[in-house]
Amino acid sequence: MPELPEVETTVRDLRRFLPGLTIDKMLYADWPRMIQTHPPEVFGQLLAGEQIQTLERRAKYIIINLTNDKYLIFHRKMTGNLFFREAGAPADKYTRVVLGFTNGTELRYTDLRKFGRVYLFLGQAEMQVLLSRLGPEPLLDTFTFGHFQEILRGRKGTLKTLLLDQSLLVGLGNIYVNEALFVSGIHPQRNAQSLNDTEREKLYHAIRLVLNTGIENRGTTLSDYLDGEGQKGRNQETLFVHERAKEPCRTCGSLIIKIVVGQRGTYLCPACQPEA
Ligand SMILES: [Zn+2]
């Protein structure tokens, strides 16, 4: 599933192409349930003639700001991708929604498993209903160690499960939680309350480090993720533990193991991340 670094990479890519383009019409929509806010034909009518102004990321959502206070939002869930394509570009596999621009270029949403969601909001207030339950952004300068401590304070439960909860902190999914716990030397099954201040501080810095590294490497492509031009990321080449079961730890040489935590495949080094 695309996590913060993959979504951020896509937004940065699309920002190079989309602002200033005017939507001519919706060219294609083969999975009506994906469009959450309107029937496909109404969705297409509301978009026609609007110009793309800016793009931003909030959590794992791609937000495309349009003229007339309209907001087009994509959440890719498991296997969604969003591509900018030149006029006449060859078809993409698993294409679900295509918007055509007046200059002939296209924005294509592809999704093998069809869990992705598309929204069109008329006005900020409507959009905020969707975004209001999200936790803070971990890479903002305003997200301090103090804020992170606030999030964990008094919370019981398995640390890994808490870190995946988007209402507490956004952007992390299974890949980057596995990586951040390795970097901080913390076992994924620890209870959040059992961490001391030093461990919390290590974890705070590790979360920011692995997310920033993911962005620098243009995302992790293990199966489906591709960037805004359909290219693979490079972060999978340098992962510490995620999907590396039975391979040697890059720090100590012990073999990485896989366990299941909260129904998610969880990878760790038993030597670097002792069970406490
Ligand atoms: Zn190790």
2 is catalytic: yes
pLDDT confidence of residue 47: 98
Tokens of 31: 């999975």
Structural domain includes residue 273: no
Q: Which of 131, 156, 181 is the last residue of a domain?
A: 131
Whole-number Å distance between alpha carbons of 65 and 56 = 8
CA 258 to ligand 1 center in whole angstroms = 13
Closest CA to 78 of 223, 213, 198: 223
More confident residue, 154 or 50: 50
CA 187 to ligand 1 center in whole angstroms = 12
160 is catalytic: no
| 152 shares its domain with 125 | no
Q: Express as a percent the part of the chain with pLDDT over 90.
A: 97
Instruction: State the catalytic residue, choosing from 2, 5, 40, 138.
Output: 2
**Which residue is it, tokens 């349930």?**
33
Residue 263 CB contacts under 8 Å (≥ 6 apart), including other chains: none
CA 236 to ligand 1 center in whole angstroms = 18
Query: Residue 263 maps to which CATH number?
Result: 1.10.8.50
| 120 shares its domain with 176 | no
70 is catalytic: no
185 forms beta bridges with none
Q: Is the dihedral of CA 176, 178, 179, 180 positive or negative?
A: positive
- Residues of the chain by 3-state class (helix, strand, coil), percent to 5: 30, 25, 45
Structural domain includes residue 225: yes
State how far the alpha carbon of 242 is from the alpha carbons of 70, 90, 198, 205, in Å.
38, 33, 24, 18
Structural domain includes residue 63: yes
**Which residue is it, tokens 């498991």?**
78
pTM > 0.95: yes or no = yes
pLDDT confidence of residue 190: 96
Q: What's the rounded mean pLDDT across residues 135-140? A: 98
Domain that holds residue 188: 145-268
- Of the pLDDT bands very low, low, confident and very high (cuts 50, 70, 90), residue 255 is very high
SS3 of 170, please?
Answer: coil
Instruction: State the catalytic residue, choosing from 5, 8, 40, 60.
Output: 60
Q: Which of 131, 154, 179 is the last residue of a domain?
A: 131
Whole-number Å distance between alpha carbons of 158 and 98 = 41
Structural domain includes residue 242: yes
Query: Is residue 238 predicted with pLDDT exceeding 90?
Result: yes
Structural domain includes residue 204: yes
Structural domain includes residue 98: yes
60 is catalytic: yes
Structural domains in the chain (count)? 2
CA 66 to ligand 1 center in whole angstroms = 48
Query: Residue 78 maps to which CATH number?
Result: 3.20.190.10
CA 209 to ligand 1 center in whole angstroms = 18
pLDDT confidence of residue 166: 97
pLDDT confidence of residue 1: 86
Please measure the distance between the N-terminal and C-terminal CA atoms of the chain and give it in whole angstroms.
30
Structural domain includes residue 69: yes
Instruction: State the catalytic residue, choosing from 19, 232, 264, 270.
Output: 264
Alpha helical stretches, state H, 16-123: 40-47
Structural domain includes residue 123: yes
* Tens digit of each residue's pLDDT (9 = 90 or more) over 214-231: 999 999 999 999 999 999
